[in-house]
Structure 1
Amino acid sequence: MCCCLVQSELDDDANNPKSICAKATLDSEENTDNHIVTTPHDNIPRLLGPIHRLDTGKKCLVLDLDETLVHSSFRAVAGADFVIPVQIEDVVHFVYVAKRPGVDEFLIEMAKHYEIVIYTASLNKYADPLLDLLDPQKTIRYRLFRESCAFYEGNYVKDLSVLDRDLSSTIIIDNSPNSYLFHPENAIDCSSFIDDPRDRELDQIGSFLTGIKDAKDVRGICHQWRDWPVINPIEEEDRNERR
């Protein structure tokens, strides 16, 4: 569902980042015919529809799912927020999902300032029902799954250039550097969330995103999120313009 996991790895998934994945029988790594590209920026379709009237003037916030907003496991987890049934080869498996602390508030608050897009390497048979539960307020405007990723040098890469959004106003949040291989200057490199109830990283990221929502160009300032508000890239941008 998120990356690719063969049957023999299922018993070892609980503490492995991005471990809840489809088995090879669901989506073979050797068959990439359904993926958009095998090299960056080939002639490929635009993935997003028109900007909703409520998102006019907002920047585009692209969010990863697994280990960024949630952590999922095939193993039963006490206190899981959601349990998602997924059918694999006529057998129903249950995926136990823990939400990253603060994710509910994060989605609601960010939707006030950004057009929210989920872009995940997970399969939609797992991610779609999960997102229905994760986002009851319908803050997410678009959902993109594995088939929308670029398969490049063995990685599922999220190619922001095919979203049909201005790259100067597009931010991706992802725990995997391979996911934003084509656009590292647009990335907020969050840590991997597994099961730490003390994790409050989304609070820091949300505060930073609110602070830069009016930035003229997000490229090159996203990496400063950990230093916010001690370092304010908007104030630095204004000072540079006055010089």
Structure 2
Amino acid sequence: MVSKMKKKAAPTKSIKDINRRRWRRKTPIKNVVAASSAVLSSIHRRISKLLTKLGITSLSSNRKRNSYKILKKTTTHFNFHQESSLDNVCKTLLFDDNESTTTTTTTTTALLPPSILNRKTIFLDLDETLIHSTTTRPLDRFDFLVRPIIDGTPMDFYVVKRPGIDELLESLASRFEIVVFTAALKEYASLVLDRLDRNRFISHRLYRDSCRNIDGRLVKDLALVGRDLKSVVIVDDNPVSFSNQPENAILIKPFVDDICDRELWKLRRFF
């Protein structure tokens, strides 16, 4: 009887049988995931064997170790100044990302191209410094007339040259770079300068669009012109124009119609 009971005992189950039953109990999704894992494992083993034959099995581990060392070194020697710089770089990166650019620093284009001659630069204002103009015809005299089109309307400007302007431009051009920096509109000022500087003593011209609007006032910011501030000076009758760099300015008396004016002669002797 005992022997019969031993014969009826359940047969031993192999690992394969157990795995098959586990496989059957899994849901279809789990079966797909398990199959994918098996395939990936097989691919990984084959790639590992291939890399072993090529002798580059330590490539991935070396990269991890090198990357870890770099990060560890950077973290160890980090200080406040680096943190500030990093913060600025991060802000720049976020800004540039929004603007769809790849640079990591923001740059401002200079108002003037690089200087060819190694000379100091003199910035001259136009209205009430070199000339005076009015839309009504003067009773006594004027030197020339310009007719720009402003906002689609032709306008007449009667221009009076300040005494000594021709001699001043010729004298300065031989030793300095001359730039006229005016807050006037280009449509008007360009015509005036074409008549005023027929010999092309003026190297560059900057108009209203090159000024900065600070609290509703037009400021001529010399920090944007692309020249060393130690080598520039601006001559202007309006202190607001050079309020950002008053130490680089020469304030001149405004000119209207005084034929006995001698300010430009004084300026010529000064330079």
TM-score tier by shorter-chain length is 0.5 to 0.7
Instruction: State the structure with more CA Rg.
Output: 2
TM-score (ref. length: structure 2)? 0.59
Is 1:72 matched up with 2:136? Answer: no
Write out per-residue CA displacement over residues 203-236 of structure 1, whole angstroms, 9 at most, x where no aligned residue.
Answer: 1111111xxxxxxxxxxxxxxxxxxxxxxxxxxx
Residues 70-109 of structure 1 aligned to structure 2 (within 5 Å): 70-77=131-138, 78-109=140-171
Task: Report the equivalent of 1:61.
Answer: 122
Secondary structure of 1:161's aligned partner: helix
CA distance in 1, matches of 2:176, 2:187: 26
> Once the 2 structures are TM-superposed, how far is the Cα of residue 132 of structure 1 from its aligned partner?
0.5
Is 1:198 matched up with 2:260? Answer: yes
> Once the 2 structures are TM-superposed, how far is the Cα of residue 43 of structure 1 from its aligned partner?
6.1
- Does the Cα contact within 8 Å between 2:148 and 2:191 map onto a contact in 1? no
CA distance in 2, matches of 1:76, 1:178: 29
Q: Which amino acid aligns with 1:127?
A: A
- Does the Cα contact within 8 Å between 2:124 and 2:235 map onto a contact in 1? yes
> Once the 2 structures are TM-superposed, how far is the Cα of residue 45 of structure 1 from its aligned partner?
2.1
CA distance in 2, matches of 1:146, 1:174: 14
- Does the Cα contact within 8 Å between 2:238 and 2:251 map onto a contact in 1? yes
Q: Which amino acid aligns with 2:205?
A: R
- Does the Cα contact within 8 Å between 2:168 and 2:268 map onto a contact in 1? yes
User: Comparing both structures, which one devotes a greater share of its residues to helix?
Assistant: 2
Q: 1:133 aligns with which of 187, 195, 213?
A: 195
Task: Report the equivalent of 2:113.
Answer: 49
CA distance in 1, matches of 2:269, 2:258: 20
Write out per-residue CA displacement over residues 22-62 of structure 1, whole angstroms, 9 at most, x where no aligned residue.
Answer: xxxxxxxxxxxxxxxxxxxx96420111213xxx2310000
Q: 1:116 aligns with which of 178, 186, 201?
A: 178
Q: 1:108 to 1:90 in 2, by over 3 A?
A: same
Q: Which amino acid aligns with 2:245?
A: H
> Once the 2 structures are TM-superposed, how far is the Cα of residue 89 of structure 1 from its aligned partner?
4.1
Q: Which amino acid aligns with 1:65?
A: L
> Once the 2 structures are TM-superposed, how far is the Cα of residue 113 of structure 1 from its aligned partner?
1.3
Secondary structure of 1:164's aligned partner: coil
CA distance in 1, matches of 2:130, 2:119: 21
> Taking CA–CA contacts closer than 8 Å with sequence separation of 6 or more, which of the two structures ends up with the larger relative contact order?
1
- Does the Cα contact within 8 Å between 2:211 and 2:218 map onto a contact in 1? yes
Task: Report the equivalent of 1:179.
Answer: 241
Write out per-residue CA displacement over residues 134-186 of structure 1, whole angstroms, 9 at most, x where no aligned residue.
Answer: 00110000100000001111111001011111101100000000000100000
Runs of 5+ in structure 2 lacking a partner? 1-105
Task: Report the equivalent of 2:83.
Answer: none
Q: Which amino acid aligns with 1:73?
A: T
Q: Which amino acid aligns with 1:74?
A: T
Task: Report the equivalent of 1:159.
Answer: 221
Secondary structure of 1:178's aligned partner: coil
Is 1:188 matched up with 2:250? Answer: yes
TM-score (ref. length: structure 1)? 0.66
